Structure 1
Amino acid sequence: MKSYFCTNRVLAWTFSGLAVAALFFACKKDAGTKNPDEASNQNDNKIMLAATHQGQVDVYYADVFSEVNEAAKQQGIQTVARQSNGDGALQATNSCPSWGIDNVGPGWPKTVTINFGTSCANPLTGRVRSGVITAVYSGLLFVAGSTVTVTFDNYKVNGLPVTGKIIYTVNSYSTDAKGGISFTQRIIDGGIKLNDSVNIVYNHTKTVTQTAGGATPFNPGDDEFDTNGAGNMDYKDAAGKTTATVALSTPIPLHTAWSCQYITKGQLKAVLNNLSAVIDYGNGTCDNIATITVGDKSKQITL
């Protein structure tokens, strides 16, 4: 059964909304012949574009923990499986990915390979992946203190290479109604080439804490999560030199629920050259509305 652990799936909606907001600020720039502060508008556009890129980059790493969880379940090295009991659209395809384990006996660590072959489409997200994810488990997945170290071998998402290392650390797991799992994800030198001119190195740490649904581990429909994180996104030129650095943070935790396809509340902040962009997702209502503020300009957008 396909795992339901995909707390970042809503980010795919976010960066498309950011692109719309970038057009708004671009219109401000187009009026530059009448605006004495055109340079300010140009800087606004740069930080908005950076926020767009952050959304794109995060999407490409978003479903790795889902695959790590599914691989652990397939190989019998987790304690509780959070899974669907019927939605066929969420099930793994017959042919991909495939899993392999180096040690079926007692003892740790255990190394699991997740092989997507040359083309493996995810029926839930629509993303097409290829290559291999290697995950080294220090212990049973849903045990506090367990870690999973993930590396990539020719791994691509929608044809774009994804590199670097991810370390997942399980902070806690409980079956309390307001509990569940808490884990920390640390991305180390994550590399994404978005196009011929945009090369990004991503170093980011976030903690995902389940806030509802812990008492029903086999019913993910009532699961809710808070996400806190911070890190940097470095732009690199062809020679590998850093040309700009964007600092990322969540002033207010991002709240997601399995029953809603959008981030329902919280704030994401991006800072470039002392200029900040803040995306505010609202007060908890399940809707596709967010507000973006850059400097003294604000815009409500539809995600």
Structure 2
Amino acid sequence: MKKRMLACLPLFAVTALLVFAGCQKDDNTNPVAETETVEVETLAQVEFDAADYFVEETANDDALLAGRQTAAPSSLPSCATRTFNTQTHTLTIDFGTTNCLCNDGRTRRGKIIAVFSGARHTAGSSVTITLDNYYVNDNHFTGTKTKTYVSANKMNVTVQNASIQTPQGNFEWSAARMIERVAGADSRQLTDDVYLVTGRSAGTNRRGVKFNTVIEQPLKLVLAPTCVRNFVAGIVKTTTENGHTLALNYDPIGGEPCDKIAELTINGRSKRIELR
């Protein structure tokens, strides 16, 4: 089994952000409305990363890729099935047509379809992941994620035509990022890996407010057990069409400690927060 490049890079500051902005008036031109830009970032990021993780873990199953049926990996529930077409290099993860309770507590239905090109984790190789009639907790997700390897330790990641249809309204999202492993490549264990993430994203929240997000300082992810849930450094800045800015600094103290302390700034007003 090859050591894989981490794909799960969610943001965890939504609850703190909503509390911080909660004293503001709730209309389309005040920060409490703009916090939904972080909500769409989180909803989209987390679920596309989850789909990516399912694909990466399944693709490590050499027997399945050779056309033999094997037991599902630990991340997938028994109600999900996996098939691999050796001629088209297409992996299909099917959660069925009714809600399937997954190990992360979310329900899913529909399919994740991944098409591989080239030898995995080598320069020029790629995998394209598409969501087909795919629902998470009854929210309809669409979109395509493509990972193209620049080298064994660096890849370009793009997400196109992503949307989330919810009872409260619809979201749109796209992203373009570079993920690079800067430590840990010489061993097979994951816990010594360190990654840097750069890039930008854009979208529209359910109120129709457009936003752009840029990683102003590379996000640093350390996979040591005490660090894995949060970035230890990096700054993400979001600007909305209404003129609001939201910035999240993962290392306000300095020294890149493996803690949950970050600093949130909304329209120039800053506050230290504790990430979930």
TM-score category, normalised to shorter length: 0.7 to 0.9
Q: How does 1:20-99 map to 2 (within 5 A)?
A: 20-23=19-22, 26=23, 29=25, 43-75=30-62, 91-93=74-76, 95-99=78-82
| Structure 1 residues 200 and 92: alpha-carbon distance in aligned structure 2, compared to 1, 3 A threshold | closer
Question: What is the rounded CA distance, in whole Å, between the counterparts of 1:112 and 1:94 in structure 2?
Answer: 17
CA RMSD of aligned residues (A): 2.8
Q: How does 1:142-221 map to 2 (within 5 A)?
A: 142-173=121-152, 181-193=153-165, 195-217=166-188, 219-221=189-191
Residue 76 of structure 1 and its aligned partner are, at CA, apart by 5.9
Q: Which runs of 5+ in 1 are unaligned?
A: 31-38, 79-89, 174-180, 238-242
Paired position in structure 1 for 2:213: 248
Counterpart of 1:280 (choices 249, 258, 264) is 249
| Structure 1 residues 122 and 227: alpha-carbon distance in aligned structure 2, compared to 1, 3 A threshold | farther
> Can you list the C-alpha shifts for 1:233-253, whole angstroms capped at 9, x where unaligned?
12467xxxxx32100110011
TM-score by length of 1: 0.76
Paired position in structure 1 for 2:239: 271
Question: What is the rounded CA distance, in whole Å, between the counterparts of 1:67 and 1:127 in structure 2?
Answer: 14
Question: What is the rounded CA distance, in whole Å, between the counterparts of 1:127 and 1:223 in structure 2?
Answer: 28
Question: What is the rounded CA distance, in whole Å, between the counterparts of 2:60 and 2:199 in structure 1?
Answer: 27
Residue 202 of structure 1 and its aligned partner are, at CA, apart by 0.7
Paired position in structure 2 for 1:129: 108
SS of the residue corresponding to residue 13 of structure 2 reads helix
Paired position in structure 2 for 1:176: none
Question: What is the rounded CA distance, in whole Å, between the counterparts of 2:146 and 2:107 in structure 1?
Answer: 23
Residue 228 of structure 1 and its aligned partner are, at CA, apart by 0.9
Structure 1 contact 4–66 (Cα < 8 Å) conserved: no
Moved more, 61-70 or 136-145: 61-70
| Structure 1 residues 161 and 6: alpha-carbon distance in aligned structure 2, compared to 1, 3 A threshold | farther
Larger Rg: 1
The sequence identity of aligned pairs, in percent, is 26
SS of the residue corresponding to residue 221 of structure 1 reads coil
Ranked by relative contact order (alpha carbons within 8 Å, sequence separation 6 or more), the top structure is 1
The count of residues paired between Structure 1 and Structure 2 equals 260
SS of the residue corresponding to residue 154 of structure 2 reads strand
User: Which of the pair is proportionally richer in helix?
Assistant: 1
Structure 1 contact 248–268 (Cα < 8 Å) conserved: yes
Structure 1 contact 224–256 (Cα < 8 Å) conserved: yes
TM-score by length of 2: 0.83
